[in-house]
Amino acid sequence: MSTNPLPSPVQDFIAKIEVFRVPPRWLFVRIESTSGCVGWGEATLEGHTEAVEGALKDLSRRFLGWPTDNIEDIWQNGYRARFYRGGEVLMSAISGIDIALWDLKGKRLGIPVWSLLGGMVRDKLPVYCWIGGDRPSDILNEAQIRKDAGFTAVKMNATEDLGWLDSPAKLDASVERLQIAKSVGLDAGMDFHGRVHRPMAKQLALQLAPLRPLFIEEPLLHGHIPEIASIAKQTGIPVALGERLYTRQDFRPYLEAGAVDIVQPDVSHAGGISETRRIAILAETYDVGFAPHCPNGPIALAASFAMDVAAPNFVIQEMSWRIHYNVGADLLTYVKNPEFFEVKDGMVKAPMAPGLGIEINEELVRKAAETAEPWSNPVWRGPDGYIREW
């Protein structure tokens, strides 16, 4: 069986693939072609940086010399050719290469990536950003800062860490935080973050409902499909999930069970633009909204924008501006055209420049990568010593 690439009428081939680990916790991919075109991708997988770097080493060796125009053939080879497939590590590595190839192709042709996806169906994109932190605090001040910056919607962690069955009183603060955010005039999504187990999640969804949050996210850990569907049927709040699902096959049972109202695949985890847009198309057949997850870097966000512009069922886009994880660098640090992410009246303008539309400060990326350490998430234990969900 041949593993050689298919031919292409476009005589432009992958000449170099480079990977850059940069603060605060991002993994960038740079692809240069034989014609001198450059595309940037992002393969950030929070807490598993070194594993993705290993997968990228294998993929990079495999795809040197392949035609840059054959994005789908490269995707299929990366996904299928090693027998074992899927999972967050491989799919994040594929994401980085895939996004970079779309960026490169758009630049080579002189058109935005969204034009390659069928063209725009909107010219502005509703967005939201984070407030609060891992253990939510200072909600009023942070909500006002976001509103003053042009946002009309935010997201926050619904709770601190909880036991499987905890005191119901611990949910009171969640209700209060939502009330505070709404008092400033913001809509707010409440992220259960998979840290709320079923006995508490049912109670929390019930208590939040009168305040009408924008959505509840990951009400239970992924994999609990009938249990999430049960919560979805018990509440009128839209249920959002998907950051820990990586393929159409992963999303399919949630859609079939009626467990989700808004899918949230992450373009840096879910096979890049190629697979994430297919997930959006699949969700549309169930009348389910598309709201890409993106607490990560500027390249992943720009790739999300490209899909958002072209996806009929797109609803709102997450942004990582001033998110609590961004220590040592923020969304705009490595970008030469920060106006790309400017928010006005809760929306950003559709990008019009070729490729993804952002200009990466390559010199700064290379310098930051020289000393960047892999990022790890906190690990929590309850009063009894048992490990709790982050």
Which tokens in the block code for residue 24? Answer: 């605060």
Q: What's the full length of the chain, in residues?
A: 390
**Is 358 within 8 Å of 39 (Cβ atoms)?**
no
For the chain, how long is the longest CA-to-CA vector? 65
- Is 269 known to be catalytic? no
- Report phi then psi at 193, rounded to 5: 60, 20
Chain Cα centroid distance, residue 253: 20
Residues 191 and 217 sit within 8 Å (Cβ to Cβ): yes
Residue 347 backbone dihedrals phi, psi, to 5 degrees: -140, 160
Catalytic status, residue 193: yes
Task: List the catalytic residue out of 48, 193, 197, 269.
Answer: 193
Rounded Cα distance, 262 and 255, in Å: 10
Active-site residue (options: 222, 224, 293, 324): 293
Residues with Cβ within 8 Å of residue 181, at least 6 apart in sequence: 131, 139, 143, 154, 156, 188
Please give the positions annotated as active site: 193, 293
